[in-house]
Structure 1
Amino acid sequence: MDFSTVIEQRMAEIASACTGCGKCFEACPMTVPAGLQGQDSGQVVAGILDLLCGGAGNAQASRWASACSMSGLCIPACPDAVNPRTMVRLAAFADKRRRLGKAAAPSALKAWRAMAHAVRVVSRLQLGADEIARLQRSEPAQPWPAAPPDVVLYTGCNVHKTPHILVLCLEILGALGLTYEVIGGPTACCGVIQFAGGDGNSAGRAGLSTLDKIEAVGAAHKLSWCPSCQAQFDDIIIPAHERIRSRLDFALTPFFVFLAGHLDALAARMTRPVNKRVALNERPGYPEVTRAVKAILAAVPGVEFVDLDVPRAGLMSNYLTVAPKFKSDLREAEFRAAADAGVTTLATVYHACHRELCHYEKEVSLEIVNVVEIIGESLGITADDIYKRLKMMDSVEEMLRECAGLIAANGLDVDEASEILLADQLAAQAIQGESLDECGLVY
């Protein structure tokens, strides 16, 4: 059995299991931003089911599928034990594959190459070759029969644009006395870009190959950083792995969930007070991650946590790019609520949220950091957020001057670096009239 056959089976099974009640549509935070308010939920879900069965669906179903921000609020709303997030993702895949046909594979490959090139350039504007090699590996560093480490951290790709986050993750694991291995970067891909582009064959090859690389490390604990990768494995790759290889024993644990599971040991080492009034830039896609982060912050001496009462949507903030006004309204509501509550620090959980928010530190009355920076500060560990420093500069020319030494040392082309910086500088801005994959900002 191959990956494509498994996908077809799962689409048919989900279409059969769903009763079309529409409760998932009613729970979705994207219906109004996507212009679907007032639509009959049963009719929209019927279109989704038709897409899963190889049909053309309907305009409302296609629009809803393309607007999915993977908030996951639909999952507990389903009375039929169907995972609606997976259902809608599979429908979006089927719709894209149907519309693009043979063009899906080259289109998806182009999107993947653009992502990989951006990661390569942006990471090398911040780090030297040795540190890049430490953080971006497609194979275990130690050949067999070296003793396996305690932990393998699968990083995904785009977190390498904010490498200080990964440096701190590894330092935190080290502070806990754990040995670790890293698998990640564009050459260890989960297949999410290819899948979103309608290319199931490439998505399956990439995701299953990376799963094999993670397993080859032999670590007792398999961790993930990126929620996009986590969802791709949970929703698409691991279920296929189970059917193709008759294996039911592979699972990835989100990094913060793992830390919360070792909270006593972590808390014993977090001895330096961090005297900050902290609010969290929450994302609802993986509620267990939010719970874990809040538990960790509660254990940091000196931290006063403020729970902001604001709407939450999206797996990460860039999943909301399909609805730019909605996205900016949520951001501004969070900033206002934080200011009103006297918050000193807004802590992002994920890398894409950090990329999109960090430069607003110039405009708001609080600092914007990632959660691992707070943990690191209490452990006595720091890492320079070079990405934020660059992002807060007034021009690409100023960025290039700042990075001149690394541009030369890493053999980067100045014009290419300028183009990438300009594109990445725009990533936090509202982009009108483009779909998620056209923007290239989803992952």
Structure 2
Amino acid sequence: MDNFLNFTEDYCREVANSCTECGLCVEACPVVPLAGLESQDAGQLVSGLKSLSEGKSSTSRASDWLDACNGSGICNDVCPENINVRSWISGLRTIQDVSRTPERDRRKASSDKFRAMSQAIRLLSSMQLPPDVISKITRTKGRGPADVVFYTGCNVLRTPHIVMNMMEILDALEILYEIAGGTSFCCGVTQHRSGDIGSYERVASRTSRAFEEMKAQEVISWCPTCLLQFNENWVNYDKPDYAMAHVTQFLHKYLDKMRSQFANCPPRRVVLQEHDGIPGVTEHVTELLASIPHVELVPVKQNRNFGYVCGGIGETYPDIQRENYRMLLEGAVAAQADCVVTIYHSCQRMLAGAAAQYPLNVLNYTDLISEALGRPSYTDIYGTLARVDTMDTIIETVHQLLKENGVEPNHSQIELVANQMFGEPGFYGSKEEFVKNLEKKS
């Protein structure tokens, strides 16, 4: 624990020395007014960060700003000193968590969150895939040095059809790849955000060593949070031998090859749900979709600056997230689009049930690329469950897959997953009915 924590303290002090206290990061931050900090002097808030970096108390509300951060990354774009302000804030939050909360409590919180996530992922993936496919998308192929490691992360396994799409795309491009996915290859974000630094260092180190042993030229991360954890927190400390990029950056390099393979697809007017926060991702997906025959991208007003991804920010600012979705979906309907396309897996989950309320389909961009390449299609069972009008039709399939996977969920496990699923804004219908039907089948 002391190694990473000491590094983080040194890193924050070093960054603080480069900061000129101009306050541009505060002025650009989308959560400042939401946290009630708009009346604070921007320079004083940044000065407070510098004081915290030096181990001193702050006379400003800098700690409140740390707590409110949604990781949008807009601060990075405006900093004239090219400071990674998001990474600085992440480090200070870690230091703050360690100082605020006893280690035993931090470790328990970390363990409880990780256990709940693991149980939910196991149950949800077992509800959607047969056992041989689960093994295929979570274990390395073991066929020697590969061009890339396709790093899925953990939570995309809640919507595993996306992983299957990506594998089809990589196969179509004749990429030699290893796959690393599931909780065995965790990035450590749960431990890091809980202030459980000892566990974070062990988890991140184990996954990082696994990447190095695969000896690939590049690791491509599906999950944006995993990418940020490794590229903004871990890489400065560990300095691994591999480079990590987002999958969209990798796919964009093969755009010309994909264009030559794209077949005619059904005409579609699509709205892409956009996110800033990870440079180039939205732009790459836009260009990929625009290259598919008969796909017309329709621009609509949306809030692309509010967080680098859907999901966690909604727990802190649920009203803002719901308003963002309403603006996006109503804008898509008004523009006579027939489809909303998501970039990330959490966005797919959050919007999955929109077809129950709007005359729109919700697809991931990998659905469209895989289709255009003539690859097999995979059902979004999670999205089917999210729609109140289709849930009953899929329960029998879910039950059969659980049986094949040897999973017999008890009431508390079903409740755990139901609470997570129906706690998301994209889910409609009755949680109680879902629990009753699943328990009846089990």
Asked if Structure 1 and Structure 2 have the same fold, meaning a TM-score greater than 0.5 normalized by the shorter chain, the answer is: yes
Q: Tell me whether 1:251 sits opposite 2:243 in the alignment.
A: yes
Shift of residue 262, structure 1, vs aligned partner? 0.7
8 Å CA contact 1:267–1:299 kept in 2: the answer is yes
8 Å CA contact 1:311–1:330 kept in 2: the answer is yes
Which one of the candidate residues 265, 272, 275 is aligned to 1:283? Answer: 275
Shift of residue 396, structure 1, vs aligned partner? 8.3
CA distance in 2, matches of 1:123, 1:33: 36
Shift of residue 332, structure 1, vs aligned partner? 1.0
Question: How many residue pairs were aligned?
Answer: 420
CA distance in 2, matches of 1:317, 1:364: 19
> Using a 3 Å threshold, how does the CA distance of structure 1 residues 49 and 108 change in structure 2: closer, same or farther?
farther
Alignment of 1:73-152 (within 5 A): 73-102=74-103, 103-137=105-139, 140-142=140-142, 146-152=143-149
The structure, 1 or 2, with the larger RCO (C-alpha pairs under 8 Å, 6+ apart) is 1
CA distance in 1, matches of 2:409, 2:59: 46
Partner of 1:366: 360
CA distance in 1, matches of 2:397, 2:54: 53
Q: Which runs of 5+ in 1 are unaligned?
A: 431-443
SS at match of 2:329: helix
Q: Percent identity?
A: 32
The one-letter code of the counterpart of 1:187 is S
CA distance in 2, matches of 1:354, 1:201: 33
Which one of the candidate residues 240, 245, 252 is aligned to 2:237? Answer: 240
Partner of 2:20: 19
SS at match of 1:315: coil
Alignment of 1:36-435 (within 5 A): 36-57=37-58, 60-102=61-103, 103-137=105-139, 140-142=140-142, 146-242=143-239, 249-312=241-304, 313-321=306-314, 322-381=316-375, 382-393=377-388, 400-410=395-405, 411-429=407-425
SS at match of 2:87: helix
Shift of residue 106, structure 1, vs aligned partner? 2.2
> Using a 3 Å threshold, how does the CA distance of structure 1 residues 343 and 240 change in structure 2: closer, same or farther?
same
Partner of 2:433: none
The one-letter code of the counterpart of 2:206 is S
> Using a 3 Å threshold, how does the CA distance of structure 1 residues 124 and 55 change in structure 2: closer, same or farther?
farther
Partner of 1:434: none
The one-letter code of the counterpart of 1:266 is M
8 Å CA contact 2:16–2:50 kept in 1: the answer is yes
CA distance in 2, matches of 1:29, 1:221: 33
- TM-score using structure 1 length: 0.90
Shift of residue 287, structure 1, vs aligned partner? 2.8
8 Å CA contact 2:218–2:243 kept in 1: the answer is no
8 Å CA contact 2:116–2:416 kept in 1: the answer is no
SS at match of 2:388: coil
Shift of residue 59, structure 1, vs aligned partner? 7.2
SS at match of 2:183: coil
SS at match of 2:270: strand
CA distance in 1, matches of 2:199, 2:59: 27
SS at match of 2:144: coil
8 Å CA contact 1:226–1:350 kept in 2: the answer is yes
Q: How big is the alpha-carbon RMSD for the aligned residues of Structure 1 and Structure 2? A: 2.1
The one-letter code of the counterpart of 1:422 is A
C-alpha distance after superposition, 1:65-117 (max 9, x if no partner)? 22222111111111122111111111222222211131222221221121111
SS at match of 1:342: coil
CA distance in 2, matches of 1:63, 1:195: 19
Shift of residue 220, structure 1, vs aligned partner? 2.7
- TM-score using structure 2 length: 0.90
Shift of residue 394, structure 1, vs aligned partner? 6.4
Q: Which runs of 5+ in 2 are unaligned?
A: 427-442
> Using a 3 Å threshold, how does the CA distance of structure 1 residues 47 and 274 change in structure 2: closer, same or farther?
farther
8 Å CA contact 1:148–1:218 kept in 2: the answer is yes
CA distance in 2, matches of 1:205, 1:417: 27
